[in-house]
Amino acid sequence: GVGNSAGVTLGLEFVGMVVATSVAVVPGLDCPVAPEEVYVIGVPENDLKTLYVEANIYALASHLFWSLWGLIQAKMSPIDFDYLDYFFLRYKEYKRKKEKHISMALSYLSECRNE
């Protein structure tokens, strides 16, 4: 199922680290190996492209989901947090990466059909 896909895990985990570090909420990250490399150890070479495409599509979905969540929370939550800023942060990333990643996924699907 979707929950078992390595691409889902990579896309959702890595996008969280990127956003977290961009707003400086991850103090002293001490990791000798880049986080995305941890997931690809032992992945067969021919599966890496699939994993990469999946991860980027799920990262897009994550940005869109959390941007909408931030927008809703900005209106509804009593918690003192700049949810609107969080919305803009996530939505900006979604817009910045959308065209590239969707184009890559469509190209990949086209390649798969032609094999």
Q: pLDDT tens for residues 60-112?
A: 998 999 999 999 999 999 999 999 999 999 999 999 999 999 999 999 999 88
Residue 62 — φ and ψ, nearest 5°?
Answer: -65, -45
pLDDT in tens, 2-53: 445 665 666 666 555 444 444 333 333 344 334 444 455 566 777 778 888 8
The confidence score (pLDDT) of residue 75 equals: 96
The confidence score (pLDDT) of residue 92 equals: 94
Domain of 12, in residue numbers: 2-114
The confidence score (pLDDT) of residue 5 equals: 64
Domain count, the chain: 1
pTM, full prediction: 0.67
Residue 15 — φ and ψ, nearest 5°?
Answer: -65, -35
The confidence score (pLDDT) of residue 12 equals: 61
The confidence score (pLDDT) of residue 15 equals: 59
The confidence score (pLDDT) of residue 33 equals: 39
Tell me the CA distances in angstroms from 91 to 21, 96, 98, one per residue in order.
16, 8, 10
> Tokens in use for 105?
């996924």
CB 16 within 8 A of CB 62: yes
The confidence score (pLDDT) of residue 13 equals: 62
